[in-house]
Amino acid sequence: MRVIITKNYEELGKVASQHLLGTMFASQERVNLAITAGRTPLEVYKYLVPEVKDKNYLNHVHYYNFDEIPYKDNKQEGITIADLRRLYLNPANVLEENIHVLDGENYENQDNRIQNDGGLDSILLGVGADGHYCGNLPNTTTVNDYTSKVTFEDNPDLEQVIIDHFIDPKDAPDFYVTMGPRSIMSAKQLVLIANGREKSGIMKSFIEGEITPDLPVTYLKLHPNLVVIMDEEAASELN
């Protein structure tokens, strides 16, 4: 595990974007990236978009979402891919044929599809204050799970979490899908980003604590090529 501590969130964005660009430029053959939505990567995409937009020499880079909260009855694209389009894919003018969408119907084929595409070269991940990554919240998936459907029956506390993503609660499904721990660990490299003082507690537990199912993110320490990039606030509780 390599740990990089940046002075602030802006520098985190620059460092992480440069790291991803390094992966993109490392090969002229196809490069496969899975990227995260949410607030943490905003600064990363701010710097990455102008470096990628309309660059024909980066048309070999393909993108995947690693989890999804689908609309009930699939009335429109899911929450995650819609966020990724808004935050990065659309501003960067990524070719539609280079966007490979995970949804509530094709999740059982996700791992085979990625394997057939050559595997994931890198995954950009965030971490939740509860220790989750992707859709691997505590008490939802196990260390041996591949891409999975997670239902309210698995974890009743998820219902309100899911509903909060929708303007109209009637659009909320009773499940979401996520690449499980075994799927994530199959990637060639993992890049975990964290910023802000609110992440300092979980980052201390992650860096200095034991591997435990109560904090799913700790399993990522088993990956042979893990890069952790966090700002000084997120690192403020480290010894």
3-state SS of the chain: helix, strand, coil percent to 5?
40, 20, 45
pLDDT of residue 104 exceeding 70: yes
Tens of pLDDT along 121-163?
999 999 999 999 999 999 889 999 999 999 987 677 777 888 8
- Is the confidence at residue 29, as pLDDT, over 70? yes
Report the alpha-carbon distance of residue 32 to residue 17 in Å, rounded: 15
Which residue type is seen at 62?
H
Return d(Cα 54, Cα 85) in angstroms, integer: 15
Pairwise CA distance, residues 70 & 178, whole Å:
11
Read off the pLDDT band of 107 (50, 70, 90).
Answer: very high
Adjacent-strand bridge partners of 235: none
CATH T-level assignment (fold) for domain 2-196+222-231: Rossmann fold (3.40.50)
Instruction: Using alpha carbons, select from 142, 229, 216 the residue that is nearest to residue 190.
Output: 229
Output the pLDDT for position 154.
66
Percent with pLDDT over 90 in the chain = 87
- Collapse the DSSP code of 52 into the 3-class scheme (helix H, G, I; strand E, B; otherwise coil) and give the result: helix
Please count the other Cβ atoms lying within 10 Å of the Cβ belonging to residue 210.
Answer: 9
CA angle 6, 12, 13 (to 5 degrees): 160
Of the candidates 104, 109, 212, 195, which has an alpha carbon nearest to the alpha carbon of residue 150?
A: 104
Proportion of the chain above pLDDT 70, given as a percent: 100
**pLDDT-based confidence at 168, cuts 50/70/90?**
confident
Sequence ranges of the domains in the chain: 2-196+222-231
pLDDT at residue 170 in the model: 86
State the catalytic residues. 67, 130, 132
pLDDT for the residue 161: 80
Q: Mind listing the pLDDT tens digit for each residue in 173-183? A: 889 999 999 99
Ordered DSSP codes for 146-210:
-SEEEETTT-TTHHHHHHTT-SSGGG--SEEEE--HHHHHTSS-EEEEE-SGGGHHHHHHHHHS-
**Six-digit token string for 62:** 């393909």
Q: What is the pLDDT of residue 39?
A: 94
> What integer best gives the mean pLDDT of the chain?
95
